Structure 1
Amino acid sequence: MPIVTVQMLEGRTDEQKQELVEKVTAAVSESIGAPAERVSIVIEEMKKTNFAVAGKRASDL
């Protein structure tokens, strides 16, 4: 049973997240032959204040 964790900044719509899980499920199923009903997706959303690149928080950009 593959488990995929997606970490991303908060702010996506429910529709965008639904499309994401559908496409990730299909990609995992196709690439490793796992049945789609056995693929689990975990979405971890974080606040922009909790993510930084090159010394700059996403909330400050």
Structure 2
Amino acid sequence: MPVVEVHMRAGRSEDDKRRLIQEITDVITQVLGSERERVVVLLDEVDPRSWGQGGRVLADELASPGE
């Protein structure tokens, strides 16, 4: 049973998340030949205040674009 875990910033629409799950499942079934029903996709939505990159907090970057 393939399990795919995606960590991403919170705030995407339900439609975007649904499409992401469907398309990841499609790729896994095509590449690995797994049965669609056996593919598990976990979306871990992280609050931007809890996401750091390059020593900076993502929420700060989103609040002041272009700096």
Q: TM-score, normalised by structure 2?
A: 0.88
Q: Which residue of 2 aligns with 1:53?
A: 53
Structure 2 SS opposite 1:41: strand
Report deviation, 1:39: 0.2
Report deviation, 1:21: 0.2
Asked if 1:14 is matched to 2:43, the reply is no
Which whole-Å CA distance do the structure 1 matches of 2:21 and 2:11 have between them? 16
Which whole-Å CA distance do the structure 1 matches of 2:49 and 2:26 have between them? 32
Report deviation, 1:57: 0.7
Residues matched between the structures, number: 61
Moved runs in structure 1, 4+ residues, more than 2 A? none
1:9-32 deviations in whole A, cap 9, x for unaligned?
Answer: 100000000000000000011011
Structure 1 SS opposite 2:11: coil
Asked if 1:36 is matched to 2:36, the reply is yes
Structure 2 SS opposite 1:45: strand
Larger Rg: 2
Q: TM-score, normalised by structure 1?
A: 0.96
Structure 2 SS opposite 1:25: helix
Percent identity, aligned pairs only, is 28
